[in-house]
Amino acid sequence: MRVLFLGDVVGRSGRKAVLDNLPQLKLNLRPDFIIVNGENAAGGFGITPTICDELFNAGVDAITTGNHAWDQRDIIEYIDQEPRLLRPANYPITSPGNGAGLFQATNGRLVLVINVMLRLFMDPLDDPFASVEKILGDIPLGANADFIFIDMHGEATSEKMAFGHHFDGRVSAIVGTHTHVPTADTMVLPTGTAYQTDAGMCGDYDSVIGMKKEAPIDRFVLKMPGPRLDAAGGEATICGSFIVSDDRTGLATSIEPIRLGGLLSQTTPLV
C-alpha cells in the first residue's frame, strides 16, 4: 500500500497549494489512498462543506480534523451525512459524525483511518488510548483492515511519542498534527509502525503557525487581547508524509517526509 498524508491545511493559500499540487503528487507517488487534515482550511478556523467537496473532487479519500472541527457551524449537519469527514474519536459519544472510517483504496484494499485528539495542553476529552484500543479491538490490522492510519492531533511531543510506541506493531502508520511545524523524526518504529510526531501544515510559513504575524506577536509581547487572527496568504509549503506498507502484514516498510513549495527546505520521496 502507498498512502499519502498531508498535514493541517491552513487558509486559502494552503487549500490552493494542495489543489494545485495534488495532480502531480498523484502522478509521481501513485498513492493508493490520500488523507488530508482539513481542520484549519476555512480561513484557519474549521472546514466547510464546500471545501470538503473540493478536496474530495481533487482525489482526497478521507479528511481528518481536530480541536477546530466545529468552528464552521454548517459542518455539523454535513459531517453526519459524509463518512469521509472525521472528527476525533474521543469526542463525546453524542458528537455528530464519526472518529474512524473503513474505506476502500484504489487497489481494492481496506484502509481504516482513525482521528484522535490527545490531551496534554489540549481540551479535556475521553482517554485517546482507550478510544483507539476499542476501535482496534473491532477492526484489527490484517483481519478487517489492510492498512490502519492514525492522525493523532496533539500539542506535546512526549505524549505523541508515547502514543506512537504504545500502538507500534498494531497499526500501519501514526502521524501527528496540530502544531503546524514538521518534525524531523520520520521513522519506522521497532515493530513496524511508520511514525512522525507532526507532519506540519500546508500553509504559508512566513507566519506564526499559518496566521499573519502581527497580531500573534502583539499578543505575546503585550500580553493583551488583540484583533482576530487571520490566515497568512503567501505561498504555501505543502507538508506531509508518504508511507509504504507490506501488503502481507499491513506494517510499514518506509515513511518519507514531504515539503513542497514556499519557504521550507524542499524534500519529496524518491520512488
Sign of the C-alpha dihedral computed for residues 121, 38, 249 and 196 taken in this order: negative
Rounded distance, CA 159 to CA 130, Å?
A: 14
**Radius of gyration for the chain, computed over Cα atoms and rounded to the nearest angstrom:** 17
Please write down the HEC assignment for all residues of 70-83. Answer: CCCCCHHHHHHHCC
Strand bridging mode 110-117 / 147-153: parallel
Q: Which residues are identified as catalytic?
A: 68
Spatial contact of 201 and 8, defined as CB atoms under 8 Å apart = yes
> CB neighbours of 175 closer than 8 A, spacing ≥ 6?
5, 7, 149, 150, 151, 152, 194, 195, 196, 198, 199, 241
Q: Say what the alpha-carbon torsion angle 99, 103, 106, 108 is, to the nearest 10 degrees.
A: 150
Q: How many CA atoms lie within 13 A of 210 on its CB side?
A: 29
> CB neighbours of 204 closer than 8 A, spacing ≥ 6?
10, 11, 13, 14, 210, 231, 232, 233, 234, 235, 236, 237, 262
